[in-house]
Structure 1
Amino acid sequence: MWRILAMLLMVAAAASGQDNQISYKGLSVSTEYPSLTTTAGRLVVLPLKVRNYDLPPQRVNIEVVRKPAGWKTSLVGGGNLVQAVFVAPGEAANAELWIEPPSGALPGSYEFLLQAQGSGEQSAKLPITVVLGKTLPQQLTLTADFPSLEGTSSTQFNYILTIRNISAMDVLANLKVEAPAGFDVRFTEEYGSKEINSMPIPAGQSKNISAKITPPDNAAAGTYPVTITAFTESASASQQISLVIRGKPRIAISGLDGRLSFDATAGHEKNVEITLKNTGSADAQNITLSSSAPSSWKVGFDPKEIPAIAADKEEKVKVRVTPAGNALAGDYMLSLSARAQDGVYASQDFRVTVRTSTLWGIVAVLIIAAALLVAVLAIRRYGRR
């Protein structure tokens, strides 16, 4: 019994709900802000939406049926002047109403009436109010997605910044930067490569830009602040960003007193002292020495591996060079290299002037002298005959 009663109550409630629902059938024309404030001489653009509620598909004529004297109005769609739109059942069509106040219009409230006329007696009207007076003061905001980035002195830091125009007028936002000496700062569009120093921003909209910052090669480890400012004639906004630069080692190889050449004798070991200096801003770790020498040459290092060289410090290394025993006299190129962890690498070429052994010179002289002596004796012995 109770179940039957509950079911009857549910059916009655559903029927009552259906009776209370209002089903609209017809046309509507709307804009998001039908009343707004602007200044004389400035074009007002209102997006329009014409919607069909359960009517057959049809053409809907739209026109401004009432406007103040001297004001210009245009209906625009798809970049063209239009007089009508087509709407299917349950669908909407978009257009724009352009309103241009005369330059001499006085401050005050001005009324317009827009009408959408469908087939038969189906129509809709939209009253619009434009107030000439003071508009919002011009304001800008400037924000960075990631205001602090980390890298080395060889990193190009890329910051994405958003400039927002909080005003009722389009603006041209100019850009300027305050950065430490030697830091190179360039602005581009977010997804472009062309350098810019200003960005046009429509009223109430935002634009993204990219700030690419390259520190100098010798920048020491530390945090470097950079201030970027977007400004117009009457507004400005600034954003401070930070470059956190990690130290980076750099190795330079040089000879004694800076010399990059030495003499050696074919087949004999020559000891040469070289200097490895860390000119970077962080310790160089696990340095290994190597060489590239002519064929049959022997090259050794003492030491061959160095655990670390602190920033702005140096280490002496003895290089043992033995040219090939059959090397001809002349100049040869010897390349000495140092490689540390994290991809740090340095190489330096040395010119080696090879001389042949003095002993072989004496032997050659003796052979020549012996040959001459034999020739003289032969002439004396056989010349008398």
Structure 2
Amino acid sequence: MSGVVYSVAMDLRLWCGTPSKVCFAGSVLSYDFSVNYVGPLPFVDVFLMVGGVPSGWGCRFVYGSYEVDAVRLMNKTSVNLVLMVNVPGDTAPGSYDFHVVACYDYPPYKSYLNLRATVKPIVSGLVLSCLTPAKVVEAGGTVSFDVKIKYYGVRDEFMFSVPNLPNDWSVSFYYGVDEILLVSLNNGDEVTIRVKLSIPMYARVGDYNLTLNVYSKSVSESLSLMVRVKPSSIVNRGLKVSVDYPIVDVEAGRTVYFTLTIRNIGLMDEVVYLNLTDKPSGWSTTFRVAGKVVRGLLLPAGGSVNVAFEATPSPYINIGEHRFKVQVYSEDKVILKDLTLIVNVIGSYSLSITFPEFPALYFTITSGESKSFTVTVTNTGFLNVTNVYVSVDVPSAIDWRVDVEPSKVLILKPNDKANFKVNIYVSTIVSAGDYFITVKAVSDQVSSTARDVRVSVTKPTEWGYIGFGIVLVAFVVVVIVFRRFGRR
């Protein structure tokens, strides 16, 4: 490509020493060129335009520190200008041709300067570096790392994280004095951020290997950092007490369990004691560690322990909210921690039945006769039940008849019992054999577990004699007939 294009009259000349340039998408190109006028007029006003530029590209002419769109030239003079071309970040790789147009109106005249921009494909990449990637810090202190980020690619936004940060440590990121969440980088940008780590006072002494991630939707890079935690020069003491669920609901009569986590966040071993400073009446309580009942324990610096707090109510505990105040304190009582635990006792319904006269759930009865037995119903729940009755299911409602007295008990309080007399009649046509009847207690609120009772039905003794007599008569008749007709 020629850098010089002459007009037909050769009186307006455009010159560019570098008419073809290479760049990445998202770059800004600058073309230095000159405009020279030689002609019959003492001066001309030359207007400048750009033709053939791709859609979305931005162009402007600069003279010194000013943006211009025309220049006035005296005869046999020239001026140096700069064409600034903004190449969008989404421009596809390839070569793009366009031209500068210089013209004046009288007499009408135009001169052209052909230019080219070649856009190269961008391979995105990050380079992370840190001059001091391993540092030492006291427990309870802070440590910072200056990390340099070098980026290649189209403009992108990058975030930061330390995924393997230990529990209770915190991290923040700074650019200068400002705390930041992300950085926006263009191709070739280089920026230094500060990674600040805060270490808790009770952090374990030793080495911690951490990973800094810098990432966007399209590219990411990691950098390894190391922090060595040494004991603090300031002796600190402290206990931290937490509970998994401080408020629980439980049915009356059931034991409730709380798990207390006690952590020694100081730098010295502590003997820790547990005490219940406020306990509602009707409860028995214990503290257990690994199944053992304890009142105190030795907790090393930085250590933690789970303590099970058990609370068992009396059989007649009141329904509603019950509060327990637990105190955890050091041996010298310099450190005191209070914790409130709440148990909301809710009622439950339950019925059970027993058969005092045949606990084996079996009895015999003769067909055509009646049998009476007692069913004892007990309220084994913690709330009153109403309209209690006994239900008996028999093999046949036609051949079996059941009467229960009383037919119903209006109210049965917790732990109270009621006796029901059950009378069963078995019809004479019921065959001898084993049958099952099903008995259960029913109330408005709950039913007991159904119990199956085996009933062995027998026939009366006289029916046995009658049957034997019929068989004997039939035998005699057969013998007589045989003798009479046998002689013939």
1:317 paired to 2:450? no
Q: CA deviation at 1:263?
A: 2.0
1:219 paired to 2:315? yes
- Corresponding residue of 1:23: none
1:51 paired to 2:174? yes
- Corresponding residue of 1:255: 355
- The aligned amino acid for 2:317 is A
* Identical-pair percentage: 19
Q: Which has the higher contact order (CA 8 A, sep 6+)?
A: 1
> Deviations 1:292-311 (Å, cap 9, x if unpaired)?
43356444433444322223
Q: Which has the higher strand share?
A: 2
> Deviations 1:12-36 (Å, cap 9, x if unpaired)?
xxxxxxxxxxxxxxxxxxxxxxxxx
- The aligned amino acid for 2:434 is D
Question: 2 CA distance for matches of 1:383 and 1:182?
Answer: 96
- Corresponding residue of 1:266: 367
C-alpha change, 1:358 and 1:185, in structure 2 (3 Å) is: farther
- The aligned amino acid for 1:58 is V
Q: CA deviation at 1:354?
A: 0.9
> Deviations 1:77-134 (Å, cap 9, x if unpaired)?
7348xxxx9899xxxx998865637xxxxxxxxxxxxxxxxxxxxxxxxxxxx8x34x
Q: CA deviation at 1:145?
A: 6.3
- TM-score, normalising length: structure 1: 0.51
Question: 1 CA distance for matches of 2:461 and 2:481?
Answer: 30
1:340 paired to 2:436? no
Q: Is the 8 A contact 2:259 2:306 kept in 1?
A: yes
Match of 1:291 among 392, 404, 412: 392
- Corresponding residue of 1:100: 230
The 3-state SS of whatever aligns with 1:222 is coil
Match of 2:237 among 112, 134, 137: 137
Q: Is the 8 A contact 2:239 2:266 kept in 1?
A: no
- TM-score, normalising length: structure 2: 0.43
Q: CA deviation at 1:367?
A: 1.4
Q: Is the 8 A contact 2:285 2:309 kept in 1?
A: no
1:78 paired to 2:205? no
The 3-state SS of whatever aligns with 2:419 is strand
- The aligned amino acid for 1:289 is V
Provide the aligned C-alpha RMSD in A. Answer: 5.3
Question: 1 CA distance for matches of 2:193 and 2:416?
Answer: 84
C-alpha change, 1:341 and 1:213, in structure 2 (3 Å) is: farther
Q: CA deviation at 1:226?
A: 5.8
Q: Is the 8 A contact 1:151 1:157 kept in 2?
A: yes
Question: 2 CA distance for matches of 1:347 and 1:75?
Answer: 66
- Corresponding residue of 1:306: 409
The 3-state SS of whatever aligns with 1:357 is coil
> Deviations 1:303-323 (Å, cap 9, x if unpaired)?
444322223322222223244
Q: Is the 8 A contact 2:379 2:412 kept in 1?
A: yes
Q: Is the 8 A contact 1:331 1:353 kept in 2?
A: yes
Q: CA deviation at 1:172?
A: 9.2
> Deviations 1:216-242 (Å, cap 9, x if unpaired)?
8x8333377767565777756454535
Question: 1 CA distance for matches of 2:430 and 2:286?
Answer: 51
C-alpha change, 1:328 and 1:97, in structure 2 (3 Å) is: same
- The aligned amino acid for 1:78 is L
1:153 paired to 2:252? yes
C-alpha change, 1:269 and 1:257, in structure 2 (3 Å) is: closer
Larger mean Cα displacement after TM superposition, 303-312 or 177-186: 177-186
C-alpha change, 1:351 and 1:76, in structure 2 (3 Å) is: closer
Match of 2:452 among 349, 361, 365: 349
C-alpha change, 1:172 and 1:271, in structure 2 (3 Å) is: same
Question: 2 CA distance for matches of 1:201 and 1:339?
Answer: 60
- Corresponding residue of 2:476: 373
Gaps of 5+ in 2: 1-136, 145-171, 184-188, 196-205, 217-222, 291-296
- Corresponding residue of 2:48: none
- The aligned amino acid for 1:138 is G
Q: Is the 8 A contact 1:160 1:208 kept in 2?
A: no
Match of 1:241 among 341, 362, 369: 341
